[in-house]
Amino acid sequence: MNGGGPDWDCEAYGPEAAAAGALCFVSGALHKRVCDDPADCRQTMIRSRQRLFGRISELAAHGDSPYAADYAYLAEVFGTPDQLLGGPGHADPEAGE
């Protein structure tokens, strides 16, 4: 595990968050990194996106939940795992996307 400095930007957070000390989405602590290298970060984020996307989809399918409409909205807005957590398919609000 890497506790080092900003050798790369976390896929979920990007460079702005790294400048503030948020180096790793998974670590849960500022200035700490869990991933060993950029490839490990990429794979960790792919798994995290897939898990989150699956959970959103699962909860959207349960119409009996008081939050089913919220999950259905999220499932509609985020049509693929790559749109979550800074993935390659996410829209950048700063760029007007």
**In this predicted structure, what is the pLDDT of residue 91?**
64
Please list the pLDDT of the chain residue by residue as tens digits (97 residues).
444 445 788 888 888 888 899 899 889 899 999 888 999 999 999 999 999 999 999 988 887 888 888 999 999 999 899 999 888 877 654 555 4
Q: How far apart are CA 74 and CA 36, in angstroms?
A: 31
**In this predicted structure, what is the pLDDT of residue 94?**
53
Residue type, 78: F
**In this predicted structure, what is the pLDDT of residue 92?**
57
The structural domains of the chain, with segments of one domain joined by +, span 14-86
Q: How far apart are CA 55 and CA 14, in angstroms?
A: 24
Two structure tokens written together for 32? 């700490």
**In this predicted structure, what is the pLDDT of residue 70?**
92
